[in-house]
Amino acid sequence: MSGAVKALVASLMILALLVGGAGVVVYGYLQRVGVVGDSDPGKRVTVVIPRGSSASEIGDLLAKRKVISSGFGFQIATFLEGGGDKIQAGRYKLPLGLTAGDALSRLKGGAPDQDHYRVTFQEGSWLTDFAKTLQKGGDIKAKAFMKYAESGKARSEHGPAGGRSLEGLLFPSTYEIGEREDAASVVKRLVREFDERATALKIGQAPDLSPYQAVIVASMIEAEARVQNDRGKISAVIQNRLQAQMALGIDATLRYALRKRGGALRLSDLAVDSPYNTREVAGLPPTPIGAPGEASLRAAIHPADGDWFYYVVSDCRGRHAFTESYDQFLADKARYQALNC
């Protein structure tokens, strides 16, 4: 990046810090040149990057082909994120409508002349997260993905009879997606991968649970656990409560109902009228609340051996304390609330 560009970016940042209202102006400008915001991938075009191209030249080339909105925005992205020197010369197929940052990520992460792209779906992802991740990583629109995933045309052998949604039945992992694949083929592949993994783990052997119920339990474990050693214990708490016909009281199911990832839950949230409100409604929620990974599936099938009924976060690393006693649970909760995490 040229010295003039660096100076301008630095000036914009300093101005935003010194003058609060200027932050809105700076953000608006960065959005116009494609540095911030979301990609809206369109059809793919071929871009040939000559050997020895600078970030300025690559940015202008991408803007000319309408991959990004501004060559200058690409220069800013390389300055902020780095990696412009890692872009290989060659022929690339890139979708129109990318942000500068997404275009930079694709050029840094992929070699030229590829006929596929790599997408990583995180454990715990909701079905809508799969759709957004896929759209951001390639050419398949989120809307098309959701339409097929909820159509009932792709079925998991571990899903409920008559069920249409594939929530929790797509396996979260990294996949190589072919350029010619469409939403249907990707959905089918993710379902097939899930079925193969769940079958290999012998999900039908989960104690007192049907295979689909085991997936639901695994999805709650995935949402609740922060460290590996807690998964089996959380599984035990869930299954102990089910056997005792106690409400599960798992806030992650509430967050799923409210589509609320983070932040504190309000009193009105705790009383929401939903089958996913496991504080009020006994038993399991009607569907999984995300995509469990292999560790959480295994924990649902093989819960730890313990008589715990309660757990609460106990330290700043996210580990939980487990107990049979409600009074001890309250003491553990107070101890955690006193920490300065």
More confident residue, 79 or 325: 325
Is the pLDDT reported for residue 43 higher than 90? no
Radius of gyration of the chain (CA): 24
- Which one-letter DSSP state was computed for residue 265? P
**Mean pLDDT, to the nearest integer, of 216-226?**
97
- The tokens for 180 are 């010619």
In this structure, which long-range contacts are made by residues 172-175, counting pairs with CB atoms below 8 Å and at least 24 apart in sequence?
172/121, 172/122, 172/123, 172/124, 172/125, 172/291, 172/292, 172/293, 173/120, 173/121, 174/118, 174/119, 174/120, 174/121, 175/118, 175/119, 175/120, 175/121
Percent of all residues in the chain with a pLDDT value above 70, rounded to a whole number: 87
- Which one-letter DSSP state was computed for residue 238? H
pLDDT tens sequence across 249-296: 999 999 999 998 877 888 888 888 999 999 999 999 999 999 999 999
Q: Indicate the average pLDDT of the chain.
A: 87
For residue 41, the model assigns a pLDDT of 73
Is the pLDDT reported for residue 18 higher than 60? no
For residue 244, the model assigns a pLDDT of 95
For residue 5, the model assigns a pLDDT of 45
Single out the residue of 35, 46, 56 nearest to residue 105, CA to CA: 35
**Mean pLDDT, to the nearest integer, of 18-31?**
51
> Cα 94–95–99 angle (5° rounding)?
100
CA distance 15 to 30: 14
Q: Which range among 1-5, 173-177, 229-233 shows the weakest confidence by mean pLDDT? A: 1-5
Is the pLDDT reported for residue 137 higher than 80? no
Is the pLDDT reported for residue 48 higher than 90? no
CA distance 234 to 237: 5
**Mean pLDDT, to the nearest integer, of 60-89?**
88
Domains of the chain: 3-114 (3.30.1490.480), 117-200 (no CATH), 206-337 (no CATH)
CA distance 145 to 165: 12
The predicted model scores a pTM of 0.70
Taking the C-alpha atoms of 124, 130, 133 and 134 in order, what is their torsion angle to the nearest 10 degrees? Answer: 150
Is the pLDDT reported for residue 39 higher than 70? no
More confident residue, 125 or 18: 125
Query: Residue 35: phi, psi to the nearest 5?
Result: -85, -35
CA distance 108 to 92: 11
pLDDT tens sequence across 302-340: 999 999 999 999 999 989 999 999 999 999 999 998 998
